[in-house]
Amino acid sequence: MAQSRILTVGTFFSEFVTNRRVTPMTGKLFGTTGVRKVYSEEFDLEMALNLGKALGTYVGSGSVVIARDARTTGLMIADTVTAGILSTGVNVIRAGIIPTPTLAFITMKHGFDAGVMITASHNPPQYTGLKFWSRNSMGFTAKEETKLEEIYNKKNFKVANWDELGKESRFEDSVEEHIEALLKRCDADAIRSKTFRVIVDPGNGAACVLTPYLMQRLNCHVVTINGQLDGHFPGRRSEPDEESLGDLIQMIKQTGADLGIAHDGDSDRVIFVTEQGEVIKGDRTIALLAQQAMLASKRGTVVTTVDSSLVLDETVRRAGGNIIRTPVGDIQVAIKVAESNGVIGGEACGVYIFPEAHLAPEPFLAVCRVLELMARTEKTFGELIATIPQYPIIRSKLECPNDKKESVMKSISETLPSKMRNVKEVLTVDGLGITMEQGWILVRPSGTEPIIRITCEGQTREAVEEILRTSEEVVRATIASA
Ligand code: MG
């Protein structure tokens, strides 16, 4: 067996990347997933302290595990949140810099009363935030977040006496425990026998401490780029996509590697790149893995968000299963996976949920499953993914004054579905999502600009253009009369 190795190429290929504001900013503390704000402009240490106090009050007793990604503000905020929790008499276990899924995994495995991740996910480096996890490995639901926010707003915090304060301890082996659990959930020997050549791009984020070592344990030849933890994200933008993964694509082409693996800042996402250097959207990879998961039973439920490709529905249906769509956000997917006893869940941005492991995003098991499939079929990832077609998606935006957005969205939620043919489902949480036989539409107001964005997919160019034309007409007329 060839010996595995890890090389760090560092940020040699780094390029200047313009930071973008990607999270809608409102007065509300919690967004789509937890709290995410710009440090010092929208979030300060007093808020961190009070969020710690609020969580300790909410939990009441027991222990909370706290971890962080590599952001420059992470240690300071983790210390402050810790102080807030300890002041309520609740213990704090510090797990250091680890991926979000590792935090969710140990919260569940060790039965901690809650988990807190200090992270702003894939947002630019000036952002910070907190994601909260339950003992059942799921992120806090909207109901749980509302309760926490109520305690935070009322400042009705539990105050422990000097001799009843929480105790702080450390958790050193979380990554090792997580890797051991992952190795048990895949055919590690099949993967090891192939000595795959992989290039890992953690984007200077939390996956630096896990993915290269997982690959090593699977006897892969590993080259890591942007492989050192750095909260400035010097190597690339933290969100892994075709635009930000130029260095990874280039390295795969130059070295002839078998697979590229890229993560976001807190590593709850993974994006795969084929041996040809093609960046594959998450929904196509979910389709591939869902097909495999249903191979034996010929049935099962797959959960995804409104913006996933129709190809996922078709693949799942052909494999004998059914699909459920939810509003965007991994928590929404996790809730439906649990309710429907689903086989797999995920989002096109690179989120994978494997309920047999836990209910948090699990990008590392997705990596294992992709390598396992390559090993078993003796096919390249490019050959495997070529069996999952791609449909045209088009995006458009219409100007709409910020103060009209709410009434426009309300009005089109009532009128647009009736203008479409073969409507299967209408979702009005976080924008308007319409799923039809022939495609889908997602209409969402921008959180930062006076525009409304429309995204459509259809099986053919003509179908998608017709869907967009009708959607634009309705939205434009509604804006004009608002
Ligand atoms: Mg993330």
CATH number, residue 414: 3.30.310.50
pLDDT of residue 10: 34
Distance 347 CA to ligand 1 centre (A): 12
Convert the pLDDT of each residue in 322-350 to its tens digit: 999 998 889 999 999 999 999 999 999 99
CA distances from 448 to 94, 158, 263, 451 (A): 35, 37, 25, 9
pLDDT of residue 346: 97
Pair 364, 353: CB distance under 8 Å: no
- Section 267-274 average pLDDT: 98
Split into its structural domains, the chain has a count of 2
Catalytic residues: 121
Distance 377 CA to ligand 1 centre (A): 31
Residue bearing the bigger pLDDT, 28 or 212: 212
pLDDT of residue 250: 97
Convert the pLDDT of each residue in 135-159 to its tens digit: 999 999 989 999 999 999 999 999 9
Distance 120 CA to ligand 1 centre (A): 7
User: What protein residues have CB closer than 5 angstroms to ion ligand 1?
Assistant: 121, 264, 266, 268
Spatial separation of the C-alpha atoms in residues 302 and 282, rounded to whole Å: 14
Percent of the chain with pLDDT strictly greater than 90: 85
Distance 269 CA to ligand 1 centre (A): 6
pLDDT of residue 159: 98
Residue 9 has pLDDT above 50, yes or no: no
DSSP secondary structure of 438-475: SEEEEEEE-SSSSEEEEEEEESSHHHHHHHHHHHHHHH
Beta-ladder partners of 464: none
User: For residue 336, is it within any domain?
Assistant: no
User: For residue 313, is it within any domain?
Assistant: no
pLDDT of residue 446: 82
Cβ-based neighbours of 267, under 8 Å, separated by 6 or more: 69, 99, 100, 101, 202, 205, 206, 207, 210, 211, 363
CA distances from 397 to 108, 418, 436, 442 (A): 42, 21, 21, 11
User: For residue 188, is it within any domain?
Assistant: no
Distance 121 CA to ligand 1 centre (A): 4
User: For residue 273, is it within any domain?
Assistant: no
Spatial separation of the C-alpha atoms in residues 227 and 246, rounded to whole Å: 15
Convert the pLDDT of each residue in 90-130 to its tens digit: 999 999 999 999 999 999 999 999 999 999 988 999 999 99
Spatial separation of the C-alpha atoms in residues 116 and 92, rounded to whole Å: 10
- Section 34-47 average pLDDT: 93
pLDDT of residue 38: 93
**Amino acid at site 37:** K
Binned at pLDDT 50, 70 and 90, residue 389 comes out as very high
Residue 14 has pLDDT above 50, yes or no: no
Of 125, 144, 172, the position where a domain reaches its end is: 172
Binned at pLDDT 50, 70 and 90, residue 25 comes out as very low
Distance 137 CA to ligand 1 centre (A): 16
Distance 36 CA to ligand 1 centre (A): 11
pLDDT of residue 307: 86
pLDDT of residue 19: 29
Residue 181 has pLDDT above 50, yes or no: yes
Q: Map residue 115 onto helix, strand or coil.
A: strand
Spatial separation of the C-alpha atoms in residues 65 and 84, rounded to whole Å: 13
User: For residue 290, is it within any domain?
Assistant: no
CATH number of the CATH domain containing 50 = 3.40.120.10
User: For residue 61, is it within any domain?
Assistant: yes
Percent of the chain with pLDDT strictly greater than 70: 94
Convert the pLDDT of each residue in 441-453 to its tens digit: 999 998 778 899 9
Of 135, 151, 172, the position where a domain reaches its end is: 172
Distance 22 CA to ligand 1 centre (A): 13
Distance 201 CA to ligand 1 centre (A): 14
pLDDT of residue 272: 98
User: For residue 155, is it within any domain?
Assistant: yes
Distance 267 CA to ligand 1 centre (A): 6
Distance 127 CA to ligand 1 centre (A): 12
Average model confidence (pLDDT) across the chain = 92
- Section 229-245 average pLDDT: 95
Distance 360 CA to ligand 1 centre (A): 11
User: For residue 420, is it within any domain?
Assistant: yes
Residue 218 has pLDDT above 50, yes or no: yes
* Domain boundaries, position 129: 31-172
Residue 217 has pLDDT above 80, yes or no: yes
pLDDT of residue 16: 24
Of 172, 192, 212, the position where a domain reaches its end is: 172
Convert the pLDDT of each residue in 45-89 to its tens digit: 999 999 999 999 999 999 999 999 999 999 999 999 999 999 999
Distance 77 CA to ligand 1 centre (A): 18
pLDDT of residue 34: 84
